[in-house]
Structure 1
Amino acid sequence: MAYEFTSELETGNELIDSEHKELIDAINNLLLACGEGKGRGEIRKTLEFLNDYIAYHFSDEEKIQRQYGYPDYENHKRYHEEYKRIVAGILNEFEQGGATVALVSKTNQAIAGWLLNHIKKEDVKVAAHIRSKRQD
């Protein structure tokens, strides 16, 4: 199942939305590689990209939150740290046992599900806060 960047995922911030699209593309590539039984190297490459890119993306998001004085910054940062641990754990699990059906399922739930839920629930709050500050 491929994920799409739909209007409900848009924050209205061009940088953040473009980075979210990159993350969704990486998740889709990972799921496709696992589903097609691609080599460990391809799956590893995608997991490593995802692991690196979320650090880059979260850094951008947190910088914007600080810039606009987002009041729930500390909690949002904790969500990011939790997600980094989840992705690192899945990468470690892959290194230990390969691309198992259980790993693909966990990737779907833990990586894709978490990210999409986070964008819809948390990132839209940040975007609304930024819009309100720009109107002041």
Structure 2
Amino acid sequence: MNIALIAHDKKKDDLVSFVTAYQDIFSKHNLFATGTTGLRIYEATGLSIERFQSGPLGGDQEIGAMIAKNKMDMVFFFRDPLTAQPHEPDVSALVRLCDVYSIPLATNMGTAEILIKGLERGDLEWRKIVKENGE
């Protein structure tokens, strides 16, 4: 599965810790991340990650384009709800695309835990069927 990893500045440590904790699961999938987040995860885990631009420079939009083309299966986007983001319209657009295309999205550690456990159990195999049918 193709998995996107994104985190606002104040949430990067949380996402790095999360991916490190579930490194064995993430290692079985194709990982994509925005710039600094991807670098931090790579440095902590050594996992292979395709990195896009940082979020404010278009990375969110690059991941959004993959979602719109049915090339992304899951998104972990640890958002900071207490800090204004200069690229908030891009953030909102990415969340909207996940809703439009029924892409599982975790914006916090609690939801991320449920998604990663579901991924491990095979609960997300329906994504393969969607992709095969070109939906």
Is the structural similarity TM-score above 0.5? no
- The TM-score with structure 1 as length reference comes to 0.32
- The TM-score with structure 2 as length reference comes to 0.32
Greater per-residue helix proportion: 1
Higher relative contact order (CA 8 A, sep 6+): 1
